[in-house]
Amino acid sequence: MTRAPGPGEPSPAPVEATLRVNGVAHRLHLDPRTTLLDALRERLGSMGTKKGCDRGECGACTVHVNGRRINACMTLAVMHDGDEIDTVEGLARGKDLHAVQRAFIEHDAFQCGYCTPGQIMSAVACIRECHAGSRDEIREWMSGNLCRCGAYANIVAAVEAAAGAEAANASV
């Protein structure tokens, strides 16, 4: 969490940046210390992206920037002027959930649900990268997303099913 400047500490000059979140451009004046995660949550009110460790260790804040998965807590918002940022809120098409979201529900791939948005964003990227060819490969390439409830067995099953469904669709 960005704390307010202490006594004698000047507040840094705000920096202007445009964040394009789920296809919508937001022009913001940002304290340069604001992480992308805090900008999404505190400035844009987009609460789907979760803050877990805030240290790049748990993956709860996983979003896609220009199509690549990253940890939003480990990057400053001002570094992303003009970048395309996709969050879990942008996955569904109206009431139609994304295939990975459906697979997580069908396979009961969560308990408390706090890590789930990060797991799902990571899984969408993992499948797109072609790193979901086997359970071992899924475990390795999803290892940046921790689940304290220990729902890993069902998460792996959900990712495997979604990857399989995608491959089946692609071969039709």
Partner 1 sequence: MHPFSYVRERSVDDAMRAHAGDPAAAYLAGGTELINWLKEGIALPSRLVDINRLPLAQIEVTPSGLRIGALARMSDVAAHPAVRAGYPALAEALERSASPQLRNMASMGGNLLQRTRCPYFRAESELPCNKRRPGSGCAARYGLNRSHAIFGWSEACVATHPSDAAVALCALEAQVRIAGRGGERAIPIGDFYRLPGDTPQRETVLEHGELIVAIDLPATARARRSWYHKVRERASYEFALVSAAVALELADARIQEARIALGGVAAVPWRLTAAERAIAGAPLERGPLMAVLATAFAEARPLAHNAFKIELAKRTLVQALEIAGAMR
Cα(123)–Cα(102) distance, integer angstroms: 12
Q: Closer to partner 1 at the Cβ: 6 or 169?
A: 6
Please choose, out of 40-48, 49-57, 102-110, 157-165, the segment that lies near partner 1 by the rule CB under 8 A: 49-57
- Nearest CA among 67, 100, 103, 99 for reference residue 85: 67
Strand pairing class (24-30; 68-71):
unpaired
Find the binding residues for partner 1 in span 78-97 (CB under 8 A). 78-79, 81
Dig out the tokens for 166 from the structure.
Answer: 């995608």
One-letter amino acid of 52? G
Report the chain's terminal Cα–Cα distance, integer Å.
48
Name which position in 20, 22, 28, 32 contacts partner 1 (CB under 8 A): 32
Dig out the tokens for 94 from the structure.
Answer: 């109206």
Return the CA Rg of the chain: 17
Q: x/- string (CB under 8 A) for partner 1, residues 106-145?
A: ----------------x--xx--x-x-------xxx-xxx
Q: Closer to partner 1 at the Cβ: 82 or 106?
A: 82
Quick one: three-class SS letters along 135-154?
A: HHHHHHHCCCCCCCCCCHHH
- Least CB distance to partner 1 at residue 44 (A): 19
- Compute how many residues bind partner 1; rule: CB under 8 A: 39
Q: Which residues would be at the binding site for partner 1 (CB under 8 A)?
A: 2-3, 5, 9-13, 15, 32-33, 35, 54-56, 59, 62, 68-71, 73-76, 78-79, 81, 122, 125-126, 129, 131, 139-141, 143-145
